[in-house]
Each structure stands twice: as C-alpha cells, then as structure tokens.
Amino acid sequence: TEESYSCRCLEGFRLAEDGKRCRRKDVCKSTHHGCEHICVNHGNSYICRCSEGFVLAEDGRRCKRCTEGPVDLVFVIDGSKSLGEENFEIVKQFVTGIIDSLAVSPKAARVGLLQYSTQVRTEFTLRSFTSAKDMKKAVAHMKYMGKGSMTGLALKHMFERSFTQVEGARPLSTRVPRVAIVFTDGRAQDDVSEWASKAQANGITMYAVGVGKAIEEELQEIASEPTDKHLFYAEDFSTMGEISEKLKKGICEALEDSDGSQDSPAGELPKRVHQPTVQHRYLFEEDNVSQSTQKLFHSTKSSGSPLEEKHDQCKCENLIMFQNLANEEVRKLTQHLLEEMTQRMEALENRLRYR
C-alpha cells in the first residue's frame, strides 16, 4: 500500500520470521518425498540418496544393496587449475559418494586414488585403507594441485603402478574386477590414447567422467566399450549428483555380472616350472602377514632345470633390480621435461593474456 509494504520471496524461497529476509525452502520437509533412505534438497526440488553400501533403484526412490563382491577400484582425478578449488570440493564429494556405495574391506572393495595436474600424486593406494571411514577422511584432506592437465601421464602411472600387487591389487589369477574412474574437466596436454588402450587391453574397465570443457573424443578414448555405459558427461557441476548415481549403479551391476572368485585357478603358473623368487610381505589379513609370499618371474633362458636356475638366480634378480632403477630414472627425466614444458606454456599464456 502507499503507507506500508510487505516482502515476498522468489520461487523456491520462503519469508523468514522477521518478514524481510528470504530463506530457501526445505523441500524435503515440506513435501512427501518418498525417499527410502535420504532426501536431499536440490534447487526447487529434491533428489533421493542412499546410505553407505546401497545404490538408488530404477524408480529413483528405493535403495538396493550393492554387491559385496571383490573389486579393485582406482580413481584418477583431475586437479588442474581450470577446475578451480570450489569445483575440486564437489569432485571430492563425488568420490566420497562412490566410496559409500561399496563394501570397503580387504576381502571386498579396495580403493586407491591418484590426483594429477602437471605431476601425478598418489593420494592413497589400494592397500592404504581397510575401511570406508578412513578412506573418506583421506579424501576430505586431499589438497588441490591446481596446475597443468597431464591426463596421459596419469593413465600411465595408473597402468604401471596402481594395479600392481605392490600397491595392493589382487593377482590377475583371482579374477577380481579391476575398475578405473577417470575424471577430467578439460583437454589433456598430452596423449591419452596409448595408456587408455593398454589399460583396456589388460582387463581394466575404464569409466570416463567429463565436465565442462572436457573433450568428447578424449573421453571416448578413455572409456571402455560400450561407451554409453562407461562415459558420462555434464556441461557443469550442477548435475554431478545424477552422474554419481548412474555411475554407482553401473559399477554395482558390473560387479553382479562378474564371478569375482578369488579362488579361481585361472592364470596360475605351471607347477613343473622352477622359477627364481623374490620375497614380499602384504598388509591385508587374507595375504597372511605372518608368512612371506612369492612373486614369480619368468626367465626366457630357463630350461626348467633346478641346477641351471640356481646358477642364474642372482643374475635374474640383479637384472630386475637394474631394470626397475633404469625405468625410475627415465620416468624422473620424462617428468622433469614435461614440467619444464608446462611451465613454459603457462608463462607464454600469461604473457599473451596481458599484452
């Protein structure tokens, strides 16, 4: 009226007690949502979420238990500067949501995580944690790297290291499914096809998640076939929750379809072949910490004679040690050159920007 006024709020908001300020409506409390486990406000609407160890059913409201079968899963997370710290926090929530859907334990789901930028950093390996609680705490404390985007280098690191027994992966002979979830928000500064192809050819199921400026061609190279089940894309971070639910559902269905038997004899070495050994110890209960287990190496020159192998055992172990050292030095040199190139590119970009 001419002598007084009243305040009104935009759609999705309600007037506070003081009659002046507006507060967002709690849709979950103001409507019969029908969510079996958890209701989460989402703009002017809501979405349903499930408790740890469950995934959303097809109706988007009920929850069903995810399989407790074994899986070795590694996240490969983009920490480049184009992402931004705010969106990096959303990605961390995305990772936590996936972890919640798995039965994390040494005998069921083992999870590792890499963050990459100009360099690749192992945040935790498949053997680092034996509970979802500790794993999620590590994700929450993860620091944003914020530099370049070397996706190919990250895939190389994942393929060569993350799925090794040294870092907690179970042997191929156990037929435990190996899964990688690669998240990126932009074009890679290196080639992704070589290491994505090698990973797929070696039985790693690759999921590609792209947001914003992510290049569809690169996502298709990363994702396993069929791509409609292994590739997820969103224009912005507002739909990350939906992608998370679809991804969790896909992983659980894939685990249900696999036999996941850890007692399978497939891939065992012939009993008659005598081979030099290197002793290892493992962290997990099932690997029997009190006993040493053997990692076997094939020798192309071995005839199967125990006497011949006794003679060649030191040579074999020294050769392996030398090869590992040489590979590490080459990796360091390559990493140094890539860092130098990225720094020069960033300096050139800054110079062009301020001209």
pLDDT in tens, 242-265: 888 888 888 887 777 664 444 433
Q: What percent of the chain has pLDDT over 90?
A: 42
Strand partners, 173: none
| For residues 103-108, average pLDDT | 91
- Specify the pLDDT at position 262: 42
Greater confidence (2 vs 40) lies with 40
Which of 43-52, 117-126, 192-201, 271-280 is the least confident region? 271-280
- Specify the pLDDT at position 322: 67
- Specify the pLDDT at position 90: 93
- Four-residue CA torsion sign, 159, 164, 168, 172: positive
Query: What confidence tier does 190 reach under pLDDT thresholds 50, 70, 90?
Result: very high
Give the pair of three-digit tokens for residue 252: 């659980």
User: Is 91 in contact with 116 (CB distance < 8 Å)?
Assistant: no
Angle at 337 between CA 342 and CA 210, to 5 degrees: 45
Claim: this prediction has a pTM higher than 0.75: no
- Which distant-in-sequence residues (6+ apart) come within 8 Å of 178 by Cβ? 71, 72, 73, 163, 169, 203, 204, 205
- Residues 312-353 have pLDDT tens digits of 444 555 565 666 667 667 767 777 777 777 777 777 767 776
Report helix, strand or coil for 78.
Answer: strand
Token pair 């040493």 is at which residue? 292
CATH of 66-257, one of 3.90.1180.10, 3.40.640.10, 3.40.50.300, 3.40.50.410: 3.40.50.410
Distance CA 186, CA 196 (A): 17
Give the pair of three-digit tokens for residue 291: 């006993």
Give the pair of three-digit tokens for residue 348: 């050139």
* Phi and psi torsions of 57, nearest 5°: -75, 175
Report helix, strand or coil for 229.
Answer: helix
Domain limits of the chain?
Answer: 66-257, 277-348
Query: Is residue 226 reached through a cis peptide bond, with omega within 30 degrees of 0 on the bond before it?
Result: yes
User: Is 70 in contact with 76 (CB distance < 8 Å)?
Assistant: no
